[in-house]
Amino acid sequence: MIPKSVTKGNANMTRNMGSIDRVIRGIIGVVLLIAAFTAGWSGFWTAVAGIVGIVLIGTAVTAYCPPYQMLGINTFKRRDG
């Protein structure tokens, strides 16, 4: 289970991604990583796909998206009870 808020130093990472958002990011991230290693793209596009895939998987796992925070977007729904 991921805590609602993680604080390390001066950084406050509050969950701002809901379950559907996380699943979609995770799936796209895995697809991009697989494509990066199997599609036979040039080195540049392989690197781009790999980096974007890793970032998407990372945000899906942590349930935190820095651009969402900067834009004031929050798809996380709190469960009361």
Instruction: Convert the pLDDT of each residue in 39-80 to its tens digit.
Output: 888 899 999 999 999 999 999 999 999 999 899 989 898 765
Q: Does a structural domain hold residue 50?
A: yes
Is 76 inside a domain boundary?
no
Residue range(s) defining the domain that contains residue 55: 16-71
Q: Is residue 54 part of a domain?
A: yes
Q: Are 26 and 78 in contact (CB under 8 A)?
A: no
> Tokens for 19?
């379950």
Query: Would you say the pTM of this structure is higher than 0.85?
Result: no
Tell me how far apart the 2 most distant CA atoms of the chain are, in Å: 51
CB 17 within 8 A of CB 73: no
Alpha-helical (H) ranges within the chain are 19-38, 43-62, 66-71
Place of tokens 């977007």: 73
Q: Is residue 42 part of a domain?
A: yes
pLDDT at 14 over 70: yes
Q: What is the number of structural domains in the chain?
A: 1
77, part of any domain? no
In a domain, 1, yes or no: no
**Quick one: pLDDT band at residue 34, thresholds 50, 70, 90?**
very high
